[in-house]
Structure 1
């Protein structure tokens, strides 16, 4: 099931997370997840569904039955934010929401100044 291992690694890379981070997000032992990512073992159906749900993709995509839709940078960043936020306890999530809302408030531009370009993540 080389396709599964390849897609698992690709998805983690898209989300900017390591295999160990992906394992923690999926509530799996790091060694077990590593076995999946290195094509040494295959997950059972429930584990496969859980991995797909946590990594915000489909089982069909992970198994190579469908191709992923091309994503722009903004979509990938929003997916990363959603997955990371989903792991936070409620009090920390509330803090992140307040911080994000504060960043989203439009600020008046100063005359003669251009907005700096958004740097890479």
Structure 2
């Protein structure tokens, strides 16, 4: 019983520590969530949280499991999926998300989803017909 109590205590401590660290990057997460179209720099995000950019990057990766840049790209692609399913054109979606180039947007989109934005839109997010 004591071993079980010890394990539960350790899990609670780890959970509290993770929650505390997540709150340390909370302002940056909020900035990304509220303005996914903005090309946030690591320095801007770190400054918002009050940390040196190197420490912030390490902390962010520890908490989120991925570095800030890939995280921001994934967030943009999540929003892109929503916009494309709402019948937004690929060019409009790319522009709304801050991409200067439709080609660059399409490359990011396909690298994450495995589909081009136009195919995603055409097939409603489902994989298209097998050729």
| TM-score (norm. length: structure 2) | 0.22
Choose 1 or 2 for highest CA Rg.
Answer: 2
- Between 1 and 2, higher relative CO (CA 8 Å, sep ≥ 6) is seen in 1
| TM-score (norm. length: structure 1) | 0.24
Higher helix proportion (structure 1 or 2):
2
